Structure 1
Amino acid sequence: MTTEKQTVFLSGASGFIAQHTIKQLLDAGKFKVIGSVRSEDKANSLAKNFNNNPDLSFVYVKDIAEETAFDEAFKEHGSKLDFVIHSASPFTFDITDINKDLIIPAKVGSAGIFKASVNYAPNLKHFVVTSSYAAINDLLRETDNTYHLNENTWNPMPFDEALANPIFGYCYSKKVAEQTVWKLTEELNAKFNVTAVNPVFVFGPQCFDSSVTKVLNTSCEIVNKFVHSTPETEVDESIKGSYIDVRDIARAHIEPLLDSDKFNGKRLLMDGGRFGNQAIVDVLNTIPQLKGKIAVGTPHKDDDIENQMAVIDNSATKKLLNFEFMNLEQTVKDTALQILKVEGKA
């Protein structure tokens, strides 16, 4: 007896997290994926990487910040969609107007695909949005160990403060984008279930070796810089945060599709633990090809970092997902070993 494969629409298909999500969806053998990309070149490149899998197809959405950007694709494919994963998001600090270039596009982009889902996907069962820890955390209290946060916490930054600099603006934009989804769920009386996935810094290997370039995506670039450091390189101790592996994030996007009611209305705070630059350097120095050739810093200075930062309680997320998150050593090593392999140093 064959079961009909269910169809997932995934926006921003060329993204770091998105590619791993597509891989896991296709590997499961239960899904067809329609990915949105900005250009034919990106579609061709992805199709080739996925060995022209017949269960993977693409639509072109050039600018997700347009209010009706997704309408054509959903008019064409909406009737066959079972699930939507909205992972596309504007992410740049090279801007001139924080509101116009960051906040408004984030809000409009989320509203556009959500409204298209309501209007043109009558059989949709679940909508998953890739949000961010930035929508939860108070950036100004990240190193305050008396500050506690969990899945119900929201970034308290007001709009006026968000305009101070692009980093504040980005954090605020992630809050606005996610809140737009929850607001529209109520206002439009959406008939499908909704989940938000809120990752911290996302490490881990690229889905394909061909994606390993000189400069990597924002989180992995932290590791990449130290892979290419020298023993004289200083370790900036001001960089600290939380980590999660990209493969765990991809899985967190898929679990709600497998048990929709269980995940309805939930925010998944994807945090594997705290790290600082020193902790990353400590792991990298256990790799034989790097030991003695890269930055050393002050070994083990980050061993107590959990007690120096805000307290994250994501026990509700871990209970819902019911799988072990990868530890820092594994995710950093896998990130670095792929870089070394591509550079012929593994």
Structure 2
Amino acid sequence: MSSPPVVLVTGATGCLGAHTVLELIRRGYRVRGVSRSREKSEAWNAAYPQQACYIEWITIPSIVDLEALDRASIGVDYIIHTASPFNFDFEYNLEDMLVPSVVGTRNIMRVAAKRPRVKHVVIVSSLAAVVDHREGLNPERQYTPNDWATASWEEAARTEDAVYVWTASKIFAERAAWDFMQEDSPHFSITTFCPPVILGPPGQPFEHFDDLNESTRQHWSIISGEAKSIPAAFFPACVDVRDL
């Protein structure tokens, strides 16, 4: 009897990553989960004891650590890359947002190219890489894979507009993946998902509501009364994390 395929999942203890891991296990895959700390992976196992035997945890504090990611990719059949910084309270545009997003994605492509066993790579991008939120929703327009939002690396590196920096990080990270496909013609294929704001029940373990992922935490601040007013929806479109 052949062993089930192995899927490497980055950001496995995040909101989307946790739901992805649970769905993979439900469908019969083995999972190798990348976590930033041993505490996070142990908390995941404690929250899902029945599923814990189907996941092997690899601790990689930074997704820009190519050597560690290379070791984690040994013996995997597929890669799902959900890890990417998403918050608007960062200090340094380049070090905290732009570089980890782009280099992290490029690293995923590089390690996959080294592993003949890898058949397919999934990268979670964002609708922000497709649609310029400053132009608002355009329900009459049909977007295609040829549509890209625009951003300048130079402006993203120096601006104080946190939303612009995050948007730029998604654009340049996804472009890095497609550029790799075009320039290196690797043996595997890729899919990029470009979701809008991700909402829904948190699948990841958390001790305090402040530990929630950015989009869920913002909604909790409204429900709990912490927010003094309802914040502006800079792009009023969303998807349920379970659907994604």
Q: Map 1:66-105 onto structure 2 (within 5 A).
A: 66-74=65-73, 78=74, 80-105=75-100
The verdict on how the C-alpha distance between 1:196 and 1:234 changes in structure 2, with shifts beyond 3 A counting, is same
Between 220-229 and 80-89, the greater mean CA deviation after superposition: 220-229
Matched, 1:134 2:132: no
The verdict on how the C-alpha distance between 1:236 and 1:55 changes in structure 2, with shifts beyond 3 A counting, is closer
Q: Using the alignment, how far apart are the partners of 1:53 and 1:240 within structure 2?
A: 36
Please give the secondary structure, in 2, of the residue aligned with 1:247. Answer: coil
- Structure 2 residues not aligned, in runs of 5+: none
Matched, 1:194 2:190: yes
Q: Map 1:159-170 onto structure 2 (within 5 A).
A: 159-162=153-156, 163-164=158-159, 165-170=161-166
- Matched residue, 1:204: 200
Q: Using the alignment, how far apart are the partners of 1:238 and 1:167 within structure 2?
A: 12
Q: Using the alignment, how far apart are the partners of 1:194 and 1:240 within structure 2?
A: 27
Q: Map 1:174-323 onto structure 2 (within 5 A).
A: 174-207=170-203, 210-211=205-206, 213-215=208-210, 216-229=212-225, 234-236=229-231, 240-249=235-244
Q: Using the alignment, how far apart are the partners of 2:92 and 2:142 within structure 1?
A: 30
- Matched residue, 1:156: 150
- Matched residue, 1:111: 106
Q: How many residues align?
A: 239
Please give the secondary structure, in 1, of the residue aligned with 2:84. Answer: coil
CA contact (8 A) 1:125 1:193 kept: yes
Q: Using the alignment, how far apart are the partners of 2:65 and 2:59 within structure 1?
A: 13
Q: Using the alignment, how far apart are the partners of 1:56 and 1:206 within structure 2?
A: 19
The superposition leaves residues 170-193 of structure 1 with CA deviations (integer Å, 9 ceiling, x where unpaired) of: 100111111111111222221111
CA contact (8 A) 1:67 1:108 kept: no
Q: Map 1:15-94 onto structure 2 (within 5 A).
A: 15-28=14-27, 30-51=28-49, 53-74=52-73, 78=74, 80-94=75-89
Instruction: Tell me the percent identity.
Output: 26
The superposition leaves residues 30-69 of structure 1 with CA deviations (integer Å, 9 ceiling, x where unpaired) of: 2000001122111211122221532211111111123434
Q: Using the alignment, how far apart are the partners of 1:222 and 1:105 within structure 2?
A: 23
Please give the secondary structure, in 1, of the residue aligned with 2:151. Answer: coil
- Matched residue, 1:13: 12
CA contact (8 A) 1:63 1:69 kept: no
The verdict on how the C-alpha distance between 1:156 and 1:147 changes in structure 2, with shifts beyond 3 A counting, is farther
The verdict on how the C-alpha distance between 1:147 and 1:132 changes in structure 2, with shifts beyond 3 A counting, is same
> Which protein has the larger Cα radius of gyration, Structure 1 or Structure 2?
1
The verdict on how the C-alpha distance between 1:98 and 1:239 changes in structure 2, with shifts beyond 3 A counting, is closer
Q: Using the alignment, how far apart are the partners of 1:123 and 1:89 within structure 2?
A: 25
Please give the secondary structure, in 2, of the residue aligned with 1:128. Answer: strand
Question: Match for 2:243: what amino acid?
Answer: D
Between 210-219 and 98-107, the greater mean CA deviation after superposition: 210-219
CA-based RMSD: 2.4
Please give the secondary structure, in 2, of the residue aligned with 1:205. Answer: coil
CA contact (8 A) 1:206 1:212 kept: no
Q: Using the alignment, how far apart are the partners of 2:64 and 2:236 within structure 1?
A: 29
Greater RCO, CA 8 A, separation 6+: 2
- TM-score (ref. length: structure 1): 0.63
